[in-house]
Structure formats: C-alpha cells, structure tokens
C-alpha cells in the first residue's frame, strides 16, 4: 500500500530517498514526502517526480526517511502526506498501517496542549513520543512507550533531532525490512527498494523494533529485550526489479510466462521419474495424509487461482474443497473442524484480509499451508508450510505472472496430495507431469503471437462492456480475464459461468455488449458451443478462445484467439495468458498507465 524508505550513512540522503520512493511507486500512492535530518521536510501531492522537482539539490544531510502515501485518513494533500512531526518539529516519522485508537489519543493530546496539523491517524504517534519525552529522557524509551499506546497496525520509520545519527523502525502488521550495507543502512517497506544497494536484509516480525546507525543495528522486542538475528540474503537481482526493456512491468511479467512455469517447478519436478516433489511439505506430510477438508481463502486474483485449486484438488485428490473470499471468511464465524487444512494464496504475503483469515483459522487449530511469492512475508512466516512461487518480485499492480505460478503450484499440490492420499498412483500421474513439462513451450507460442492478440484487442478497444464466460476449468479464468480488463482499462467487464447465462446475464447481450467465450476442446466444449450460438442469435459479438485447429469456432465466432491443445486440468494456466495480453493491449490502447491503475495498490495491507 504506502511505501517507506529510509537511509542512514555517509552519502547525501535526499537522492537515495527519492530513488527508494521511485522503486516503491508500483505499490500505489497519491502523495509523497521526505525528511532529512538537519535539512527539513518537503512534501508533494501526486507522483514522486513532483517531490523530486521540489527537492532539487537543496537538502544536505546523511540521515533521512521518505514515504509514498495512499490515503486512509484525510484526503491526499501535502498536509496529510508523510512524514509527520510533533509540535516541536524534532520528531519525524512515516507510517504504514492504521492506528485504530488515534481519535481518543488525539483528544487526550489536544487536551494536553498539542497542536495537530493533519487529519491523519499517523500524526498522533509523533505527538505521543513528544509527550513521553517529557518524562523519559531516552528517545528509545519514549518511542517504546508510544508503541505500547497505539492500537492497530504499523510499520514505522522514525528520526529525531535528539539522536540525529539514528533511525528507528518498528513493525506490527505492516512490513518493514532493514537492509545492511557497508557503512550505511537502509530501511524499506518492501525489499525491492533495497536490492539496488544491498542484498543483506533483516525482516522485522510483528512486535519488534530496531535502532539503526550507519554502522550498526539493534533489534528489540516490545519488552525492550534485545533480539539476535542474522541477516538473510535476498536472491533477486536488480535486473528483476526493472522493466527489462518492455514498456511496462505488466507486459514484462506476462512475457516471463514460460520462465515463470520453469522457475515455479524448479526443484519440484523430476523429469526422469516424471513425478512431482514438494519438499517444503515434508514436515506436514503425515498431517496431509489425514486431512478431510480444505478451505482455500484469498483475495482478488489469488482467490481465482484458488477456485482453480478447488476443481483440481477435488477431481484429483478427492478431498472436499471450498474456496472463499478472505474478507468474508474472517467475519462470518467460519467453522473449522478438526481435520481441516487452510490454504492461503498470496503474492505479497501481506494482504490484510488473507492474513486475518489465516489467523482466525489458526486460532481454531487448523494447519495452514500457503502459496506465497514474497519470501519472509508475514503470511509466509505464520504458515505451517509454505510453497514459494520462486518467480521474483511482481511489480505490476495487475497480478499476472503470480497467477500463472499459483495455478501451477496448485496443480502440483493436487497431484502430490492425490499420491499421499493413495487415490492415484505415481504411475497414473506421469501423463500429467509430461503435459506440465510441455507447458512452457505452449505458453511461449501464445506470447510469440502477441501482435495478433494486439490486433484483436484493437478491434474491441471501443466497447465499454464485456462479458467473459467459461465453464469447469475455464470458469475461474472468465472471472480473472474480466478482473484484468476492468482493473487496467476501467472497462466494465463481468465474469460468468456459461451455464448461468440463461439465468440473467443473457438479457444484457446486444451488439454493443461483446462476449469473450472460453471454448476449448474439453469435456464442456459442446455446452460452450450452445452458449455461443445463443449469444450470436441475439446479435452479440463473440471473441472466442479456442483450441488450435478448431474450424467450427472460426465459423461461429467473430474473432478467434487460438491456444495450443492441452489437457483439461491445465487449461487455466494457458488460457489466462491471452486474456492478460488482451487486457494489456486494451488498457494501453486507451492510453492508460497499466502499471499504476487508478485507485489500486499492489499490496492491500489495510481492510
């Protein structure tokens, strides 16, 4: 959501802070600001380049902190953007998260004479430290007392004129990472901003805070006890956080598709034995053998991957699965009986609703197995077992490569579970594994045909409404295709199960309301053909996704995008690719910055 970056070292802090904020731009924001110790604070509404222009080379100092804000309390404005300070201007901080009791704290502070400038929840933290300093001469004590007074979530970076050579950071619910350099240290809300400077990082856990100088760092818990933790090394390189020659991160990430599958499967597929290995499940294998039910819970694109998982696991491992919105699961008094496994799926590993659902399930004693892309993220750390995507950071706000990888891992999981449960033999799985091995090449042929998809997208660029329909394994893909289109092109698009057409949506169909129909040669092909005919009979325009060689569809639909023939259970990962490209070309064709869709953030760390 919001982005935090901080620096303490010997170099000029301001340019590094601006660079850090630019690396975090993909997270979504409406304003930005920075504070350099000894040089002051500058803020600007809008893009980081607005802030950069205001800062120029006026700010000299080697300790500072910066923030990109996505408004939660108070409108986007300079006054409300971070960093915020106390009455004296000696305490400066940036914050991600929400301080839930800010209103009562603010009233108490106002009664004591504090003057507030902004409408934010964050500002109370600076005034609380100021108030605490009146009785606590040591800055760290005043800070720790503040952390104990606030309720809600936070990732803080804090500077003080009292300790001008230090930065302080703290975490509860909002990620904060410390980057260890040579004679300099960095902090950020996301490791991708730190990677250009150092790969040695320390992730703070909830309830931890740290004191950082250019040459040292000390980690503490909320009781003030020092914690020993060695840095870990991030496996990404800078290249992976840049656009790699494409116009947008989104296109770069879609074009990584074939490699995404290979990386996802690295170390998990024995090409000779034609078997799936998921070593990360070793510790929970015995419990997996006994599970009676699985609930998959996630948000957005990750949830649609979960829908695919539901079909896969029930069909192959014969375990009952429900898949539901984490935002509902967390509030609807779910019953998690003994023998239930919870699976969360998340790219960021920080999605607030998914995390809350995980915690509720854990409270009820469930085993948690998660599919996560961001190593060291909160959800990864709180799960009993984690299957990492192994695909590097996803920067584009629209999730693309993460979905391909999530569905691939769900396929692997279903196969593995089927084996563990003894409902299928390793021998029978060989055909599936062979088909999985062929996936990257099949995806590559779709990617190579992207100019054809662009040409089709141009024909549809002026429509304002779309229906996406699929059935069985393409049912979730209809929803994902519609989500992709709406989030980056602001076009109304609805995903629907083709079998539901007659129950309502067909009423919308006319020549101005095209349908994207997912009609592959599979067990529901004939049903889909009937639905397409019904749409054509009502003057609806049809763009079909069909299997190479399907002449029927060529005659029936207005346009066809062909995909290679594939086993039904692997359709989702293949079908999603042309729909991602279709959305990309419609969004860019309409002139939008698809990497930063309006109103959206990459990592939704508040409800």
- Cβ 55 vs Cβ 18: under 8 Å: yes
Which residue, 302 or 586, is less far from ligand M6R as judged by CB? 302
Establish if 604 lies at the interface with ligand M6R (CB under 6 A). yes
Query: Shortest Cβ distance from residue 482 to ligand M6R (Å)?
Result: 11
The owner of tokens 């090449």 is 441
Find the binder of ligand M6R among 85, 122, 174, 351 (CB under 6 A). Answer: 351
261-264: long-range contacts at Cβ-Cβ below 8 A with a sequence spacing of 24 or more? Answer: 261/404, 261/405, 261/408, 261/436, 261/439, 261/440, 261/443, 261/573, 262/440, 263/390, 263/391, 263/392, 263/405, 264/389, 264/390, 264/391, 264/404, 264/405, 264/408, 264/409
Q: Which residues ranging from 184 to 243 are in contact with ligand M6R (CB under 6 A)?
A: none
Find the binder of ligand M6R among 68, 185, 354, 588 (CB under 6 A). Answer: 354
Which residue, 397 or 576, is less far from ligand M6R as judged by CB? 397
Find the binder of ligand M6R among 192, 214, 346, 547 (CB under 6 A). Answer: 346
Binding string, residues 278-307; x marks residues near ligand M6R by CB under 6 A: ---------------------xxxx-----
Which residue, 68 or 198, is less far from ligand M6R as judged by CB? 68
Which residue, 264 or 429, is less far from ligand M6R as judged by CB? 264
Active site residue 148: no
Q: Beta strand pairing status for 31-36 and 40-45?
A: antiparallel
Task: Take residue 579 and report the two structure tokens written for it.
Answer: 């729909």
Catalytic residue among 2, 299, 519, 575: 2
CA-nearest of 219, 213, 217 to 9 is 213
Binding string, residues 439-478; x marks residues near ligand M6R by CB under 6 A: ----------------------------------------
Which residue, 236 or 525, is less far from ligand M6R as judged by CB? 236
Query: Shortest Cβ distance from residue 348 to ligand M6R (Å)?
Result: 3
Query: Shortest Cβ distance from residue 395 to ligand M6R (Å)?
Result: 12
- Cβ 75 vs Cβ 119: under 8 Å: yes
- Cβ 66 vs Cβ 4: under 8 Å: yes
Active site residue 2: yes
Among 43-51, 87-95, 331-339, 343-351, the segment contacting ligand M6R (CB under 6 A): 343-351
Q: Return the ∠ at Cα 371 (arms to 365 and 373), rounded to 5°.
A: 135
- Give the residue at shortest CB distance from ligand M6R: 300
Whether residue 479 has a cis bond before it, omega within 30° of 0: no
Q: Which residues ranging from 44 to 63 are in contact with ligand M6R (CB under 6 A)?
A: none
Give me the phi and psi of 154, to 5 degrees please: -155, 150
Query: Shortest Cβ distance from residue 261 to ligand M6R (Å)?
Result: 18
CA-nearest of 314, 316, 371, 317 to 342 is 371
**Helical pair 257-265 and 426-448, crossing angle rounded to 10 deg:** 160
Establish if 372 lies at the interface with ligand M6R (CB under 6 A). no
Query: Shortest Cβ distance from residue 426 to ligand M6R (Å)?
Result: 31
Non-local (6+) Cβ contacts of 491 within 8 A are 463, 464, 465, 466, 485, 586, 590
Query: Shortest Cβ distance from residue 396 to ligand M6R (Å)?
Result: 8
Q: Which residues ranging from 481 to 500 are in contact with ligand M6R (CB under 6 A)?
A: 487
Catalytic residue among 199, 442, 596, 602: 602
Query: Shortest Cβ distance from residue 603 to ligand M6R (Å)?
Result: 6
List Cα–Cα distances, 14 to 64, 126, 162, 213, 253, in angstroms: 7, 22, 20, 17, 31
Query: Shortest Cβ distance from residue 485 to ligand M6R (Å)?
Result: 11
Q: Return the ∠ at Cα 91 (arms to 87 and 95), rounded to 5°.
A: 105
Query: Shortest Cβ distance from residue 309 to ligand M6R (Å)?
Result: 14
Non-local (6+) Cβ contacts of 484 within 8 A are 301, 398, 400, 579, 580, 583
Element (H, E) at 200: strand 200-203
Q: How many residues bind ligand M6R (CB under 6 A)?
A: 16
Find the binder of ligand M6R among 120, 348, 405, 515 (CB under 6 A). Answer: 348
Establish if 580 lies at the interface with ligand M6R (CB under 6 A). no
Cα distance between residue 468 and residue 248, in whole Å: 25
Binding string, residues 381-410; x marks residues near ligand M6R by CB under 6 A: ----------------xxx-----------
Instruction: List the catalytic residues.
Output: 2, 602
Binding interface with ligand M6R (CB under 6 A): 299-302, 346-348, 351, 354, 397-399, 487, 600, 603-604
């Amino acid at each position: 959501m919001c982005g935090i970056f901080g620096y303490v070292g010997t170099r000029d802090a301001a340019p590094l802070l601006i660079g850090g904020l630019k690396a975090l731009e993909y997270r979504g924001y409406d304003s930005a600001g920075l504070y350099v110790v000894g040089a002051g604070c500058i803020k600007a509404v809008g893009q980081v380049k607005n802030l950069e222009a205001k800062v120029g080379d006026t700010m000299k100092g080697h300790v500072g902190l910066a923030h990109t804000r996505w408004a939660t309390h108070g409108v986007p404005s300079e006054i409300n953007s971070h960093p915020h300070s106390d009455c004296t201007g000696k305490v400066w901080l940036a914050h991600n998260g929400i301080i839930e009791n800010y209103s009562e704290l603010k009233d108490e502070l106002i009664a004591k004479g504090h003057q507030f400038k902004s409408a934010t929840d964050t500002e109370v933290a600076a005034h609380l430290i100021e108030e605490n300093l009146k009785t606590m001469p040591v800055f760290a004590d005043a800070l720790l007392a503040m952390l104990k007074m606030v309720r809600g979530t936070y990732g803080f970076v804090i500077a003080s004129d009292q300790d001008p050579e230090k930065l302080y950071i703290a975490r509860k619910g909002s990620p904060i990472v410390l980057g260890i350099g040579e004679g300099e240290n960095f902090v950020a809300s996301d490791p991708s901003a730190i990677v250009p400077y150092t790969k040695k990082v320390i992730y703070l856990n909830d309830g931890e805070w740290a004191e950082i100088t250019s040459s040292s760092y000390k980690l503490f818990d909320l009781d003030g006890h020092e914690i020993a933790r060695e840095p870990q090394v991030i496996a990404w390189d800078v290249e992976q956080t840049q656009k790699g020659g494409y116009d947008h991160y989104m296109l770069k990430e879609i074009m990584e598709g074939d490699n995404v599958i290979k990386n996802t499967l690295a170390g998990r597929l024995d090409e000779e034995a034609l078997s799936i290995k998921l070593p990360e499940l070793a510790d929970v294998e015995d419990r997996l053998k006994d599970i009676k039910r699985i609930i998959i819970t996630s948000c957005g694109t990750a949830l649609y991957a979960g829908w695919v998982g539901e079909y896969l696991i029930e069909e192959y491992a014969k375990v009952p699965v429900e898949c539901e919105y984490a935002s509902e699961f967390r509030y609807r008094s779910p019953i998690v009986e003994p023998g239930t496994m919870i699976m969360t799926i998340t790219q960021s590993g920080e999605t607030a609703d998914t995390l809350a659902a995980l915690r509720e399930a854990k409270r009820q004693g469930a085993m948690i197995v998660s599919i996560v892309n961001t190593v060291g993220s909160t959800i990864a750390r709180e799960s009993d077992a984690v299957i990492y995507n192994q695909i590097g950071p996803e920067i584009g706000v629209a999730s693309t490569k993460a979905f391909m990888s999530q569905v691939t891992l769900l396929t692997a999981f279903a196969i593995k579970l089927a084996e563990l449960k003894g409902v299928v033999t390793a021998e029978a799985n060989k055909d599936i594994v062979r088909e999985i091995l062929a996936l990257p090449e099949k995806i590559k042929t779709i990617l190579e045909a992207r100019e054809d998809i662009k040409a089709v997208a141009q024909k549809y660029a002026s429509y304002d409404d779309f229906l996406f329909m699929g059935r069985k394994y393409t049912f979730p893909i209809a929803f994902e295709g519609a989500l992709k289109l709406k989030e980056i092109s602001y076009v109304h698009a609805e995903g629907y199960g083709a079998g539901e057409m007659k129950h309502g949506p067909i009423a919308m169909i006319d020549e101005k309301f095209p349908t994207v129909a997912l009609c592959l040669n599979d067990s529901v092909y004939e049903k889909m053909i009937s639905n397409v005919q019904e749409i054509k009979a009502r003057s609806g325009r049809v763009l079909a996704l069909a299997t190479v060689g399907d002449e029927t569809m060529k005659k029936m639909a207005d346009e066809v995008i062909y995909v290679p023939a594939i086993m039904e259970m692997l359709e989702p990962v293949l079908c999603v690719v042309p729909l991602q490209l279709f959305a990309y070309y419609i969004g860019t064709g309409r002139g939008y910055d698809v990497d930063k869709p309006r109103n959206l953030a990459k990592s939704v760390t508040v409800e």
